[in-house]
């Protein structure tokens, strides 16, 4: 099932934002602030949502960069640093190293400097400037190791551990936009939601679209919530591409908490066997969204033949069910 937050996010891409672009937040964490504001807390991590829709072809991603996460604490945005190959300290800096030709001592140039001129600290010989060969090398400030090439490391700002890049968790970052198929997919779900709301309004329910209902100590985002205050009737609507048993069971539990009859709309016209059995037992109302924007009561179970009552029977049952049956 597409959650209310996920549908909200996709509609924003269709009607408002052209794309969602990654930004670097505090500590180097990668964020999609616009997308994050549209999702509900229970939708999970925004990057996981975007990648899931990209895998399904609803979104397409254009490569931007890579981010590395710490294998110890999972913090994103690790910082590149160099390290000493001898002691692993990051306190290794590029320094001008001087080598005394006569005795072979190689050390930072400052080691040869005395108040009265240049003196080799190894052989105590007074030196002229051209007695030293100079080159840029790394010097470790912890163990004084001198070396040509440092080790490459990524440093975690959170737990302060360092790791070779190949031991960290690499993740490619993309800017996301709707595909043509994704735009159609989004519109199909939006129209199904609006058609359900209009049908309930015609039955004189007070209807809220993309709203939150209060359950047993918990708030639940829903696509549509409808209530007839006079008769004490409530309906709650969920839109799904192909409803599955696990998701429908969770949705029915929400409906039970708020004392409402659940209505599930499939945008593909297909459901799993266990969902069809719930509909046959009148635990929920099951409708199909058609390409022309109308709702129909016929649906396929897997790849099977169509099942369901007539549209009039199914929709009438959904909006006219007595309150005692929702308890």
Return the domain boundaries, the chain.
Answer: 4-76+166-176, 79-155, 182-326
Give the closest residue to 259 by CA, choosing from 317, 193, 192, 214: 214
With a CB cutoff of 8 Å and minimum separation 6, the contacts of 126 are 117, 118, 119
CA distance 277 to 256: 18
| Helices 4-15 and 180-202, packing angle to 10 deg | 120
Q: How many CB atoms lie within 10 A of CB 245?
A: 15
* Lookup: tokens for 76: 């994103």
* Lookup: tokens for 286: 């099951």
Q: Which residues of the chain have pLDDT under 70?
A: 26-28, 303-327
Give the closest residue to 87 by CA, choosing from 126, 157, 140: 140
CA distances from 314 to 251, 255, 298 (A): 19, 18, 9
Q: What is the pLDDT of residue 313?
A: 42
Q: Which residues pair with 69 in a beta bridge?
A: 169
Give the closest residue to 199 by CA, choosing from 285, 294, 313, 309: 294
Q: Which fold has domain 182-326?
A: Trna Endonuclease; Chain: A, domain 1 (3.40.1350)
pTM of the model: 0.71
Q: Cβ distance 109 to 96 under 8 Å? A: yes
Q: What is the pLDDT of residue 34?
A: 92
CA distance 39 to 294: 27
Q: Name the pairing type of β-strands 113-114 and 270-271.
A: unpaired
CA distance 168 to 74: 9
Q: Name the pairing type of β-strands 126-127 and 117-119.
A: antiparallel
Q: Cβ distance 147 to 132 under 8 Å? A: no
CA 297 distance to own-chain centroid: 34
Q: Which residues pair with 136 in a beta bridge?
A: 96
Q: Mind listing the pLDDT tens digit for each residue in 163-198?
A: 999 999 988 889 999 999 999 999 999 999 999 999
Question: Is the backbone of residue 189 left (phi > 0), alpha (psi -120 to 50) or beta?
Answer: alpha
* Lookup: tokens for 298: 């016929």
């Amino acid at each position: 099932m597409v959650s209310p937050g996920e549908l909200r996010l996709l509609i924003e891409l269709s009607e408002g934002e052209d794309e969602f672009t990654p930004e670097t937040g505090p500590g180097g964490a990668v964020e999609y602030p616009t997308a994050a504001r549209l999702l509900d807390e229970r939708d999970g991590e925004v990057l996981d949502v975007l990648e899931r829709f990209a895998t399904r072809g609803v979104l397409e991603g254009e490569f931007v960069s890579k981010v590395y996460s710490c294998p110890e604490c999972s913090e994103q945005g690790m910082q590149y640093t160099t390290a000493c190959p001898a002691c692993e300290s990051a306190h290794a800096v590029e320094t001008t190293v001087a080598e005394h030709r006569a005795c072979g001592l190689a050390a930072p140039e400052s080691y040869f400097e005395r108040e009265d001129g240049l003196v080799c600290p190894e052989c105590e010989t007074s030196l002229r400037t051209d007695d030293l060969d100079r080159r840029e090398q790394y010097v470790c400030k912890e163990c004084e190791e001198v070396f040509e090439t440092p080790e490459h490391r990524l440093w975690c700002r959170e737990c302060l551990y360092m790791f070779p890049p190949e031991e960290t968790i690499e993740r490619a970052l993309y800017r996301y936009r709707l595909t043509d198929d994704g735009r159609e997919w989004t519109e199909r779900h939006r129209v199904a939601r609006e058609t359900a709301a209009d049908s309930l309004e015609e039955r004189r329910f007070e209807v809220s679209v993309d709203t939150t209902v209060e359950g047993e100590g918990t708030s639940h985002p829903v696509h549509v919530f409808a209530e007839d205050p006079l008769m004490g009737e409530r309906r709650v609507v969920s839109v799904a591409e192909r409803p599955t048993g696990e998701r429908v069971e969770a949705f029915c539990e929400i409906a039970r908490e708020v004392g409402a009859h659940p209505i599930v709309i499939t945008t593909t016209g297909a459901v799993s066997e266990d969902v069809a059995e719930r509909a046959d037992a009148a635990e929920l109302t099951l409708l199909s969204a058609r390409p022309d924007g109308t709702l129909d009561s016929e649906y396929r179970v897997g790849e099977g033949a169509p099942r369901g009552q007539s549209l009039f029977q199914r929709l009438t049952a959904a909006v006219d069910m007595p309150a005692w049956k929702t308890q």
